[in-house]
Structure 1
Amino acid sequence: MSTTSPDAPRPPLPPFSRETAIQKVRAAEDAWNTRDAKRVTQAYTANSRWRNRAEIFQGREAIQAFLERKWAKEQEYRLIKELWAVSENRIAVRFAYEWRDDSGQWYRAYGNENWEFDALGYMAVRHASINDLPIKPEERKFHWPQGRRPDDHPSLSDLGL
């Protein structure tokens, strides 16, 4: 995919190695755990194409609106992402996140994402498939304070998820 972004490079850049893909995945996880929609959108090309569950949309403004809507609903959101596969400018990720709704019901969402990056390291395409599982509060596994997951917190594989 050719670059269409006037933005500065956003390392690590493709082609990705396993190590640089892991860095890209952790950077995405860290950004999403801020729940700062404007900050998160800066990782995507201006015309990035998304499919998130059944929604399909394009562009940073649409991404920001989607994320603001998402995080207004998904309270106490905590996310873990894990590299699944990498090839050239594409990364496959599996993830899980926990959240509760305004009635107090907790959920664990499980999903997979396929990412494609431009030459400057911005995500140009994102496809996400996600399933929500209602859980009891005592079944929660993500207990760190809101924000970045601590480095010593278990990964999805460590948690058996």
Structure 2
Amino acid sequence: MEQKHPLPPFTLATAKQKIQLAEDAWNSQNPEKVSLAYTVDSEWRNRNTFINGRNEIVSFLTEKWKNELNYKLKKEYWAHSDNRIAVRFEYEYKNKHGKWLRAYGNENWEFDKNGLMEKRYASINDLEIEEKDRQV
């Protein structure tokens, strides 16, 4: 059986560990690696896009990182319960036109008993910035 530690129920320490593992995976910009943290039928809302399952996750992230160059993400703990974690995040990237942007928002995560994320709901806003104003 496929598992992704730490497993629920989460403590403060294991919730923060799960968040750091997610941040590290996303900063690898490896769609296949990232997708393995999710159930095969995982359900996402990312801005106005709805994504279902690992295959769609890989396709989505592949396209995302073709357009979001110099990507760097930081996630922060917000709250948790037995099998749910809420995070605040921000990331910066340069688009194909050379403009820098900072994306920031909140995510709500729900995990199955094996520590795989079943649901990911992300509310994200973008702000155009100057390179000199980068924070991440």
TM-score (norm 1): 0.83
RMSD: 0.6
1:69-112: CA deviations, max 9, x gaps?
11110000000000100000000000000000111100010110
The CA deviation string for residues 119-155 of structure 1, in whole angstroms up to 9 with x for no partner, is: 000000000000000000100112xxxxxxxxxxxxx
1:113 maps to what in 2?
107
The total of aligned residue pairs comes to 136
Q: Which residue of 1 aligns with 2:29?
A: 35
Q: Which runs of 5+ in 1 are unaligned?
A: 1-5, 143-161
1:136 maps to a residue whose letter is: E
Tell me, yes or no, if structure 1 residue 52 matches structure 2 residue 46: yes
User: Where does structure 1 differ by over 6 angstroms across 4 or more consecutive aligned residues?
Assistant: none
Structure of higher CA gyration radius = 1
CA distance in 2, matches of 1:13, 1:125: 15
Give the superposition deviation at 1:46. Answer: 0.3
CA offset digits 1:20-50 (Å, max 9, x no partner): 0000000000000000000000000000000
CA distance in 2, matches of 1:56, 1:115: 15
Q: How does 1:130-149 map to 2 (within 5 A)?
A: 130-142=124-136
- The residue that corresponds to 2:9 in the other structure is 15
Paired residue type of 1:113: E
Q: What letter matches 1:14 in structure 2?
A: P
Name the structure with the higher strand share. 2
Name 1:75's counterpart in structure 2. Answer: 69
- Report the equivalent of 1:123: 117
- Paired with 1:91 and 1:129, the residues of 2 have a C-alpha distance of 14
Q: Which residue of 2 aligns with 1:66?
A: 60
Q: Percent identity?
A: 53
23, 26, 33: which is aligned to 2:20?
26
Corresponding position of 1:88: 82
